[in-house]
Structure 1
Amino acid sequence: MRPKDTASVDGRTYRRGKTVELHSGDFIRIMNILEDDYTGDTFLQGFRLRRLSQCRRLFDQHLNELTMVFEETNADIQTSESGSMEVVSSFEVLRIRDVILTNAAFSSFSCREDASNSMLPRDVLRDQGRLVCRWKLKVSIRPQSNGRQWIEKSVSGLTATEADVKFRLDDEHLRRRWRGITIKKGSCASWLRGERDFDLRERSLHRDLLTPPESDRVGRRTQRYTFGDAFCGAGGCSRGAKSAGLRVVWGFDSNLASIDSYAKNFFGARCEATPADVFLSVLNDNFCVDVLHLSPPCQPYSPAHTRLGKDDEMNEATFFAVGEIIKKSKPRVVTLENTFGLAQRRPEWMDAMVRFFTALGFSVRWRVLNLAQYGVPQARRRLVVIASWYVPLALQEC
């Protein structure tokens, strides 16, 4: 195969940067044009794009919106995107389409935004109107004897450098649209009165849990990221956040005994012994945090849950509070932990959760991990989700 700058086949001229629609319904963003040395056939190499309607309910459904699709058939999730380019024959091409890549949120630049399209029927717009790609969907696959198993999945918004020049926005501008001006190194710039003394007493009681170098470093830090813990229990995740130097601002759980323990361990944190719906009714700007953790009830989705329980309906309903908690607390980063059964036994619920994130403009990444590899004294498989607002999981930019 030899590369070419352009190629004309069946009256269509192909160039780098153009996008073609395939007979399969997918699209290819052309990055290279190749010609077979022996047959003279033309092949197009580029990134595969797919309509959001074909992506298992991971996105809100909008006409003519696309996502790039990357699939790695090995365990190395760090494979470069250039290695994910596909090669298709020009015989697979149905037509050339107008497709733009942008990092702007919907509905900027969409086909409906063009006034000349306002009166066109939906089927005409689908076949002829502008298409817009704002997302990348990546799946890492492990081949098995009985088929294939996914290792990790992620959905991320395009960055400014990945967007077309005429349709890119500054990433900082996008962050400000979500939660206003952000402060590097964290929103908490001071210590509460009595907080240092509380931490000193705590470290003196638990010297085996906090090594002196780490505790001293955290103790001297002034600028800190703020942390909120939804469905916090007694505060296991908040403890990890505090040990990492974050300022624990609030936590809530419906279990009164758990909140009583939580309040005694996190100085100055607002502790609410309340169900999620009641907590949402009092959530306001004072609950905004840099990092939000969510551990919604996992019993309905657990493989160990073999018969109906009295709280199943309430626990499932609680799941729908996730989107509103994110929307009102406006975090920079969200972490979520749940049973692996959510992803493997109830994929429709998993898709719904991812859609909570993408509907708000979050990039999200998820994987099932065996926590025994991280020091838990049992083989405990858990679903771990990390999300950041629009700029794909770039914590250094927070």
Structure 2
Amino acid sequence: MSSRVMIDSPGDEEVQYLTSRDVTSKNRSRASSSATLGRTTDDEHNEEEEAEELVELFEHEIIDLTEDEIESGTHGSIRPGEFSLERFREPRSGAQFSRGDLIQVENVELGSYTIDFVQIKIIASDRQGDCKIRGIPFVRTRKLLGKLPKKCNEICMLLHIQRRDNGQELPAVLIDIPTTSIVGKREIVMTNAIYPEHCYNGENTGLRVQNEQAQQRLAEDYGKLVCRWKFAIYFTVQRQSRATRPEEEVLERVQADEVSGSRYCVSDEGLCNQWRGGRIKGGSWPYSESSIIDLESKPCSVKTARPAGSRRIGQKYTLFDSFCGAGGVSRGAQSSGFKVQYAVDKWADV
């Protein structure tokens, strides 16, 4: 059993441990979905050691697999007795929705999380003519139990990914949304840029409102939504039970190939350069001038490279020693002229 935390948030000053969560109300309704998260009591006393560790780590959440297609690996596809539709017209409002659209929903909950939006992946109709909307859920960042900063119109993709016994990962589970829960269509921007770039808080609408709260409410109701993060919950179906606990939670940024358009995409080199604040030739400690290397520019030729002897007095490369143990690497780097800035290890006695 592993617990992996992937955080790449240059603007956040502290690490967020995803396996630490607040307890929310137990009286929550559950949506009809391919995989429904709910809270139940643990009355299985004969679980193995590994299962007991999962209970301790995720003691407040259980995945209740309510559909046979989860086990067969066909979740997220057209099921027997259904046929695919390209679009759907909502009878009450007359609004038309197509695959790929982002819809706002209400009264839909998935375990600990209230689902605010769903990106339509499948529109299916059964033999009775009833339409079903199936897609990927999104949650406002302020409702992610403290995993992300609370920003106006910033949302996060919520993924439930099943692993087979051999470690193979299946596509993310799609949830079913009743058509009565649809509020309307919304505009989404997928970007890997760092906040506040491309953010939308209602200030640029040009509309005059009474106060800041009314302006934010107007933006949340009608403004474009920005997704920079994906929150994935991994689980493995237990053979002895149809209910299983999550094994791993991962919070990661949207990748460049998932971005909506070129104007919202930032190269990996550009993100690295922005996060590091640039690179200084010869080492950045304690050198403070602004001769920064642009990672997106072409590398300098050998003829234009700075001579090795031009390093300024006291200028050193900095070192971050992760999993440092007794500190052998740090000591060797220090002896070689590096400035050891940080050294971390899980062992409390180090």
- Could you state the TM-score of these two structures normalised by the residue count of structure 2? 0.53
For 2:221, give the aligned amino acid.
D
Q: Secondary structure at the match of 2:221?
A: helix
- Residue correspondence of structure 1 range 3-42 to structure 2 within 5 A: 3-10=84-91, 11-23=94-106, 24=108, 25-36=115-126, 38-42=127-131
Distance 1:117 1:111, change over 3 A: farther
Q: Secondary structure at the match of 1:175?
A: helix
For 2:320, give the aligned amino acid.
G
Give the drift of 1:103: 1.6
Give the drift of 1:20: 0.8
Q: Structure 2 regions of 5+ residues with no counterpart? A: 1-81, 109-114, 279-293, 297-304, 310-316
The 2-side partners of 1:51 and 1:87 are apart by 19
Give the drift of 1:298: 4.5
Distance 1:175 1:139, change over 3 A: same
Q: Which has the higher helix share?
A: 1
CA contact (8 A) 2:104 2:116 kept: yes
The answer for the alignment partner of 1:139 in structure 2 is 233
For 2:96, give the aligned amino acid.
T
For 1:177, give the aligned amino acid.
Q
Distance 1:55 1:270, change over 3 A: same
The 2-side partners of 1:7 and 1:18 are apart by 11
CA contact (8 A) 2:103 2:186 kept: yes
For 1:28, give the aligned amino acid.
V
Distance 1:229 1:90, change over 3 A: same
The answer for the alignment partner of 2:159 in structure 1 is 70
Say if 2:320 is the partner of 1:228: yes
The answer for the alignment partner of 2:345 in structure 1 is 295
Could you say which structure has the greater relative contact order, defined with CA pairs below 8 angstroms and 6 or more residues apart? 2
Aligned residues: 220
Give the drift of 1:232: 4.0
**1:270-303: per-residue Cα shift (whole Å, max 9, x none)?**
476xxxxxxxxxxxxxx6xxxx86326748xxxx
The 2-side partners of 1:169 and 1:58 are apart by 24
Give the drift of 1:99: 2.0
Residue identity (%): 22
Give the drift of 1:44: 1.9
- Residue correspondence of structure 1 range 75-224 to structure 2 within 5 A: 78-81=168-171, 83-112=172-201, 115-116=204-205, 119=209, 120-142=214-236, 148-165=244-261, 167-171=263-267, 172-179=269-276, 180=278, 181-182=294-295
Give the drift of 1:33: 1.9
Q: Structure 1 regions of 5+ residues with no counterpart? A: 184-188, 194-224, 239-250, 252-261, 273-286, 300-337, 339-398
The answer for the alignment partner of 1:43 in structure 2 is 132
CA contact (8 A) 2:161 2:169 kept: yes
CA contact (8 A) 2:157 2:227 kept: yes
Residue among 268, 271, 283 paired with 2:336: 268
CA contact (8 A) 2:140 2:155 kept: yes
For 2:158, give the aligned amino acid.
V
Give the drift of 1:50: 0.8
The 2-side partners of 1:56 and 1:170 are apart by 28
Give the drift of 1:92: 2.7
For 1:33, give the aligned amino acid.
I
Distance 1:15 1:147, change over 3 A: closer
User: What CA RMSD, in Å, does the superposition of the two structures yield over aligned residues?
Assistant: 3.8
**1:309-346: per-residue Cα shift (whole Å, max 9, x none)?**
xxxxxxxxxxxxxxxxxxxxxxxxxxxxx9xxxxxxxx
Give the drift of 1:29: 0.7
Distance 1:73 1:117, change over 3 A: farther
The 2-side partners of 1:294 and 1:54 are apart by 31
The 2-side partners of 1:5 and 1:100 are apart by 22
Q: Secondary structure at the match of 2:103?
A: strand
Give the drift of 1:7: 1.5
The answer for the alignment partner of 1:369 in structure 2 is none
- Could you state the TM-score of these two structures normalised by the residue count of structure 1? 0.47
Distance 1:153 1:294, change over 3 A: farther
